[in-house]
Amino acid sequence: MRPSGRAPDEMRAITIETAFTKHAEGSCLISFGDTRVLCTASVERSVPPWMRNKGTGWVTGEYSMLPRSTHTRSSREAARGKQSGRTQEIQRLIGRSLRAVVDMQKLGERQITLDCDVIQADGGTRTASITGAWIALRLAVNKLMEEGAIKEDPITAKIAAISCGIFQGTPVLDLDYDEDSNADADANFVLIEGGQIAEVQATAEGATYDEEGLLRLLRLAQMGCADIFKAQEEATK
Amino acid sequence: MRPSGRAPDEMRAITIETAFTKHAEGSCLISFGDTRVLCTASVERSVPPWMRNKGTGWVTGEYSMLPRSTHTRSSREAARGKQSGRTQEIQRLIGRSLRAVVDMQKLGERQITLDCDVIQADGGTRTASITGAWIALRLAVNKLMEEGAIKEDPITAKIAAISCGIFQGTPVLDLDYDEDSNADADANFVLIEGGQIAEVQATAEGATYDEEGLLRLLRLAQMGCADIFKAQEEATK
Amino acid sequence: MRPSGRAPDEMRAITIETAFTKHAEGSCLISFGDTRVLCTASVERSVPPWMRNKGTGWVTGEYSMLPRSTHTRSSREAARGKQSGRTQEIQRLIGRSLRAVVDMQKLGERQITLDCDVIQADGGTRTASITGAWIALRLAVNKLMEEGAIKEDPITAKIAAISCGIFQGTPVLDLDYDEDSNADADANFVLIEGGQIAEVQATAEGATYDEEGLLRLLRLAQMGCADIFKAQEEATK
Amino acid sequence: MRPSGRAPDEMRAITIETAFTKHAEGSCLISFGDTRVLCTASVERSVPPWMRNKGTGWVTGEYSMLPRSTHTRSSREAARGKQSGRTQEIQRLIGRSLRAVVDMQKLGERQITLDCDVIQADGGTRTASITGAWIALRLAVNKLMEEGAIKEDPITAKIAAISCGIFQGTPVLDLDYDEDSNADADANFVLIEGGQIAEVQATAEGATYDEEGLLRLLRLAQMGCADIFKAQEEATK
Amino acid sequence: MRPSGRAPDEMRAITIETAFTKHAEGSCLISFGDTRVLCTASVERSVPPWMRNKGTGWVTGEYSMLPRSTHTRSSREAARGKQSGRTQEIQRLIGRSLRAVVDMQKLGERQITLDCDVIQADGGTRTASITGAWIALRLAVNKLMEEGAIKEDPITAKIAAISCGIFQGTPVLDLDYDEDSNADADANFVLIEGGQIAEVQATAEGATYDEEGLLRLLRLAQMGCADIFKAQEEATK
Amino acid sequence: MRPSGRAPDEMRAITIETAFTKHAEGSCLISFGDTRVLCTASVERSVPPWMRNKGTGWVTGEYSMLPRSTHTRSSREAARGKQSGRTQEIQRLIGRSLRAVVDMQKLGERQITLDCDVIQADGGTRTASITGAWIALRLAVNKLMEEGAIKEDPITAKIAAISCGIFQGTPVLDLDYDEDSNADADANFVLIEGGQIAEVQATAEGATYDEEGLLRLLRLAQMGCADIFKAQEEATK
């Protein structure tokens, strides 16, 4: 039924290549099937002006798609002179999600920027970004702890994200581009290891859905994230 | 328990003043307590370039807060030279929500722009905007039908939005600013008359929530929207 | 002779609703007939960088038209990414006019920003803005004096503005949109209670005018402002 | 009494060097004392989109100060990425003034852009710009008529501008920078040969002025413009 | 003598991974040591407005560094709202270089955009970009020819680029970051297979150089490019 | 053979009018035939933030073409809201070139900005800018030394620039616009008195060139700069 032949609750293959770039304090190239995102964590001693001299840190995210990561070339946001509303919405989501699992007191007065650059897009780029950003963050914080810059681990839990949707009437897990562009409803879940929800963004496209539909999508997401947490564990141990 | 003394499932007073401005094809000043938003619907014959000559219409939303709608003055986006990520996120949500209840074939090749300008802010400005925008849209479409420009009603249902949140451990309906800035979780629901969901955006702030929490917020939202649909009916009949 | 049936020296009805919004230190919704402008005064402790540590204050103005305040919708300046030349010209005029009646020493090191947002436009929005801004300023300064933040009243006089023009050969007072768009000459006067002139901006449109014409317009403006000063007095006492 | 030793009704020396640049259809370098502005008229066959296919023309102005035309260097507007409110105000004034003496039907469907670039500033740059722009326009139109592109002269009259002000209590003609920065009132007059007024912009700075003051400034301007019209005649014959 | 221990005329290892992304008509990830650039070629049927309906094509380049491709994080150009002068200079060079080896008549009315995105920077990113862009272009043109869209090969020759410099008095080939930031002179050569020069950009940094120095750098570049042409041949056959 | 009738190694007439504007610490209007550039040097006590409190100075360049300096009018960069890639490339070159002959320690903590504004363009505007900028710099530094603000001369040598190219197969010196727009190759040389090279930028246009061609162009440039150094000497003594 699914264009890819996957079962409704079957995710695409996840691969994670850590230390993909050498300058960043933490980095990985994460793939969900053909979706590939380069996530880097950069540690800086300075925090935004409104946070200075409070001894607490900050975590923020940035997101971009390379112009030809998509089927047809998109114009470069730097050339257009501004980031699209979609880009800003996604980078706000990335930052908010990662901050949900960081204790800013323990991080101390430093900022970690998570850059998520989409190398190739095939659906689910924002959820892959959040998932990969956690790995880059984990690696960067490990480095800070090894160097003795941080005493106690500021990361309180794993966090991961996955998209689900209702495709031709059936709830399915981990939408690829073909499904995403034809889904009746599309939901992104950001979940914390242990069963808590950090964020739900569920949108009807054309059709609408009801309470039952929302719950079924949430349960698929919980199944998917269980697998993702294992992959994160493996990649960062 | 609530700063305002309201019961957990008690909304603020809703007032709707239609035809607040004379030039727009539809307009209202909608208030949820001290939150006041001016919503106008403007009908134009031209649609965006990528939609031309297809005989179908488009509905889009714009959102802005007046600089001193808030407790302390915010700088004017026009003066800064760009709209914030928050503004863009909200206006995308307004447009998407309203499009969920419009049949673009029946609308014909015309665009309706829903401008939501916040006169005074006290929490819930985006949900008040969606609710008020539907009224402005309804009035503008009524006008088009009275003029004979449109034969069949393109609006398929009422749509309304409300925010809920977990405040000091209790799920509460229709957050005001005092609650919103201290809530553990904050969710905006866009619901369609008849029980369908158009959009859910639920975010943990500090704490997180679980499936049970999400469901309880959804049920509060369903109660609140039932009242809002009545107010919309009254205002537009 | 006038489209509205008014006598040449007859102004439109003026209504002033003070405290229209609750957050601003001073605010009013001022109407000249169908022209309605929301004016708010915001007091901030910081002054522009080049004025710091001198113990003197600053008064500045900002102006905007809501997209559908006009007959046909105008695009939103924040979306276009810049303010038009007309907007900048008007907000410079508002700030300059109000500064003409404020003693910056007595104001002390604080800035008052006068936001003039046009809710509905029917000619004369800049003059209504100046007139309403004075009221908002008066209310904000009253508040500062009641709180004891300011000892001596920094406002030296009332200031008001009105447009006059030559319409079909006849000098007329307080142009509405129908007149404004067809006038031979159009002049905005900013007058100070007591007979002084703060600013004259008189422009020929199509036809030109001479010294005699300029004087007749000035005298109409003086008559009109006499009434406006009374309305300001009433609104702020 | 005046810093320059001039009599109250004495203008600075005016020099006009026509054909200062070779590419423009009309050009001059105009000086009022140390104020020097390069004015060029560029003829293009295309008019703005909203004027096309109507057979009528358009005249517009642009204005800029070279970064070091002033006492201390100002940052370059192109580098800052936007034109200041002052620049926009002045270029709107230049265009409006010149259009007051052009018959757009006779000009035919072509646009003439008047670029006024201030080489050196010592007060009165906007009025020198208008005065010089008329010369550049006259030369460009002469060229079009010599080439037979235009049959009837579209220029209906000479137009010139001059600033006057109240300096230490005395009305004076043609303010230089020292006077301008200390004047009590400052007025720019755009006058048409024959006694008509195209534009008055009179502003109180610190002090205010009254009807009598306005009239005395207007009469000084009329005296000054009489001399300027002679200089324009001489330069373009 | 060189920080890397390389001989003066020794290049870094070149690796080329073609088809690195699946959507682009041509793509490669090219590495010169630790410098890694993703180059993609995107074919579009539309050309810039000024070239339409002439039957000839266009080749253009864009360049960007990922924020953390460098030792310390650089701010994202899309977030800053403009491309730096350096970025614009480089992308002009990429486009100009590639156009030097394309027959625009044979390409036909289509545009090929070469996006060069630096994944990791260690000196020589602009020369790696040009070299990799040729490969992406070659692959994209091969695809057009296989599809029969183009009859005759529009690519007239191979083109490659390399940087040379004078480091501690010695001319060296293929500068890495450590050398580049301390070189006395720095030159980028764009050479065409067969001995022709497309572009030379040679700059003294601190010290200067003379004719002899320039020639020695050119000869090193010729040696380096001979190897690069082989690598290009291998990668695209 | 050359459109101007000049011999291949013949430069255009150079004229230099120093002190062309009165406010700048140093200024000249430099002409190479019909190419005329106004160069001013502005001394400021502040240096860029990253250089503060180090006791060393900075020299930077800015470049602009007046809209009608060219054959057909170009739009104004300040109106477009950004500087073109070409402009940025040229102003980076001007700054880099002048810094090559200034000892920043001896200059002390001050910035000198060299503004090069093209009044009339006929080819070679960037090289005329560099040549004239040196004169403005020399005059400004002389002034600082006369005032005793600087003890030792920070200027280490003269620097000049000239363009050469291959026109109809022949290497020629000092291209004018007619030659520049039809040259097979075009090279800009920035040379230091005494035989050193500061910068070479050589580009093939259509055709390419080889080592021999590059050398012949360099030798023409050396001849031309010998004359320019004399003109600089004369103008500044």
Q: Give the pLDDT confidence of D111-139 residue by residue, as tens digits.
A: 999 999 999 999 999 999 999 999 999 99
The per-residue pLDDT for A132 is 98
* Contact (CB<8Å) E197/F201: no
Tell me how far apart the alpha carbons of residues F224 and F190 are, in angstroms, rounded to a whole number.
11
- C209 secondary structure, DSSP code: B
Q: What is the pLDDT of residues D39-70, one digit of tens each?
A: 999 999 988 888 888 999 999 999 999 999 99
* Contact (CB<8Å) A73/E22: no
Taking residues E85-100, what's their average pLDDT?
A: 96
Residues 6+ apart with CB under 8 A from D148: none
Q: Is the ipTM of this complex over 0.90?
A: yes
The per-residue pLDDT for B197 is 94
Tell me how far apart the alpha carbons of residues F77 and E36 are, in angstroms, rounded to a whole number.
35
Tell me how far apart the alpha carbons of residues E111 and E101 are, in angstroms, rounded to a whole number.
15
Q: What is the pLDDT of residues B166-198, one digit of tens each?
A: 999 999 999 999 999 889 899 999 999 988 999
The per-residue pLDDT for E154 is 98
Residues 6+ apart with CB under 8 A from F15: F30, F31
Burial status of residue A117 (CB atoms within 10 A of its CB: 0-12, 13-18, 19 or more) = buried
Residues 6+ apart with CB under 8 A from A15: A30, A31
Chains that touch C (3 or more CB pairs under 8 A): B, D
CA angle, residues F20, F22, F26, in degrees to nearest 5? 70
Whether F159 contacts F61, CB under 8 Å: no
In DSSP terms, which residues pair with A213 in a beta bridge?
Answer: none
Rounding to the nearest 10 degrees, give the CA dihedral for residues C74, C76, C82, C86.
40
Residue F227: pLDDT band with limits 50, 70, 90: very high
**CA D41 from centre of chain:** 13
Burial status of residue A31 (CB atoms within 10 A of its CB: 0-12, 13-18, 19 or more) = buried
Of residues E207 and F69, more confidently modeled? F69
Q: Which two tokens stand for residue D136?
A: 């550049």
Chain C residue with minimal CA distance to D99? C206
Could you give all domains of chain A from N- to C-terminal order, each with its CATH number? Answer: 14-236 (3.30.230.70)
Q: What is the pTM of this model?
A: 0.93
The alpha-carbon radius of gyration of chain A (Å, integer) is 18
Q: Over chain B, what is the mean pLDDT?
A: 95
Residue A202: pLDDT band with limits 50, 70, 90: very high
Q: What is the pLDDT of residues F175-184, one digit of tens each?
A: 999 999 889 8
Taking residues E57-70, what's their average pLDDT?
A: 98
Position C209 pLDDT exceeds 90: no
Phi-psi map region of A234: left, alpha, beta (phi>0 left; psi -120 to 50 alpha)? alpha
Question: What are the angstrom distances between the C-alpha of C186 and each of C128, C158, C161, C220?
Answer: 15, 23, 13, 12
The per-residue pLDDT for C86 is 95
Among the partner residues F34, F73, F82, nearest to D22 by beta-carbon distance: F34
Chain A residue with minimal CA distance to B206? A100
The per-residue pLDDT for A86 is 95
The per-residue pLDDT for E172 is 97
Helix axes A85-99, A125-146, angle to 10 degrees: 40
Chain D residues with CB-CB distance to C204 below 8 A? 100, 196-199
Position A22 pLDDT exceeds 80: yes
Q: What is the pLDDT of residues F17-27, one digit of tens each?
A: 999 999 999 99
Q: Identify residue C141 by its one-letter amino acid code.
A: V
Residues 6+ apart with CB under 8 A from D224: D9, D11, D162, D164, D173, D174
Burial status of residue E219 (CB atoms within 10 A of its CB: 0-12, 13-18, 19 or more) = middle
Sequence-distant contacts of E213-217: CB under 8 A, at least 24 apart: E213/E166, E213/E171, E213/E185, E213/F197, E214/E187, E214/F197, E214/F200, E214/F214, E214/F218, E215/F211, E215/F215, E216/E171, E217/E164, E217/E165, E217/E166, E217/E171, E217/E185, E217/E187, E217/E189
| Chain A interface residues (partner B, CB cutoff 8 A) | 82, 84-86, 88-89, 91-92, 96, 100, 187, 192, 195-204, 208-211, 213-215, 218
| Chain E interface residues (partner F, CB cutoff 8 A) | 82, 85-86, 88-89, 91-92, 96, 100, 187, 192, 195-204, 208-211, 213-215, 218
Provide DSSP, B42-75: EEES---GGGTTSS--EEEEEEEE-TTSSSSPPP
Residues 6+ apart with CB under 8 A from C75: C67
**CA F103 from centre of chain:** 19
Chains that touch D (3 or more CB pairs under 8 A): C, F
Q: Which two tokens stand for residue F97?
A: 């070139």
Helix (H, G, I), strand (E, B), or coil: what is residue C193? coil
Q: In what helix (H) or strand (E) does residue B145 lie, and over which residues does it extend?
A: helix B125-146
Tell me the H-state helices in A116-210.
125-146, 177-180
Tell me how far apart the alpha carbons of residues F198 and F94 are, in angstroms, rounded to a whole number.
11
Find out whether D110 is annotated in a ligand binding site: no
Q: What is the pLDDT of residues A161-186, one digit of tens each?
A: 999 999 999 999 999 999 998 898 99
Q: Over chain D, what is the mean pLDDT?
A: 95
DSSP E strands, chain B? 14-18, 26-32, 35-44, 58-65, 111-120, 159-167, 170-173, 185-192, 196-204
The per-residue pLDDT for F165 is 95
Helix (H, G, I), strand (E, B), or coil: what is residue F59? strand
% of residues, chain F, pLDDT over 90: 87
Taking residues A131-156, what's their average pLDDT?
A: 97
Among the partner residues B27, B64, B70, nearest to C23 by beta-carbon distance: B70
Find out whether A126 is annotated in a ligand binding site: yes
Taking residues C83-87, what's their average pLDDT?
A: 95
* Contact (CB<8Å) B197/A218: no
Chain B residue with minimal CA distance to A205? B100
The per-residue pLDDT for D1 is 84
Residue A205: pLDDT band with limits 50, 70, 90: confident
Tell me how far apart the alpha carbons of residues E129 and F158 are, in angstroms, rounded to a whole number.
36
Tell me how far apart the alpha carbons of residues C128 and C63 are, in angstroms, rounded to a whole number.
11
% of residues, chain A, pLDDT over 90: 87
* Contact (CB<8Å) A113/E81: no
Residue C187: pLDDT band with limits 50, 70, 90: very high
Whether B220 contacts B161, CB under 8 Å: no
Whether A39 contacts A114, CB under 8 Å: yes
Taking residues A178-201, what's their average pLDDT?
A: 93
Q: Which two tokens stand for residue D146?
A: 């010599």
Place of tokens 């496209």: A205
The per-residue pLDDT for E179 is 94
Taking residues E178-191, what's their average pLDDT?
A: 93
For chains D and F, CB pairs below 8 A equal: 93
* Nearest in space to D236 (alpha carbons), one of D163, D137, D90: D137
Three-class DSSP labels, B190-215: EEECCCEEEEEEEEECCCCECHHHHH
Whether B140 contacts B105, CB under 8 Å: no
Chain D residues with CB-CB distance to F82 below 8 A? 78, 81
Position A218 pLDDT exceeds 90: yes
* Contact (CB<8Å) D62/F76: yes
Q: What is the pLDDT of residues B32-74, one digit of tens each?
A: 999 999 999 999 998 888 888 899 999 999 999 999 999 999 9
Residue E205: pLDDT band with limits 50, 70, 90: confident
The per-residue pLDDT for F46 is 85
Helix (H, G, I), strand (E, B), or coil: what is residue E98? helix
* Nearest in space to E41 (alpha carbons), one of E17, E21, E16, E13: E21
* Contact (CB<8Å) A200/B200: yes
The per-residue pLDDT for B46 is 85
The per-residue pLDDT for B205 is 74
* Contact (CB<8Å) D198/C192: no
**CA F190 from centre of chain:** 8
Among the partner residues B69, B77, B117, nearest to C66 by beta-carbon distance: B117
Return the exposure string of B28-41: e unless at least 16 CB atoms fall within 10 Å of the residue's CB, then b.
bbbbbbbbbbbbbb
Whether C101 contacts C153, CB under 8 Å: no
Place of tokens 């947490």: A229
Position D208 pLDDT exceeds 80: no
Tell me how far apart the alpha carbons of residues A115 and A37 are, in angstroms, rounded to a whole number.
10
In DSSP terms, which residues pair with B17 in a beta bridge?
Answer: B29
| Chain D interface residues (partner C, CB cutoff 8 A) | 82, 85-86, 88-89, 91-92, 96, 100, 187, 192, 195-204, 208-211, 213-215, 218
Tell me how far apart the alpha carbons of residues E38 and E24 are, in angstroms, rounded to a whole number.
11
* Contact (CB<8Å) E218/F218: no
Choose, out of F73, F83, F178, the residue to mutate when testing the contact with D (most D CBs < 10 Å): F73
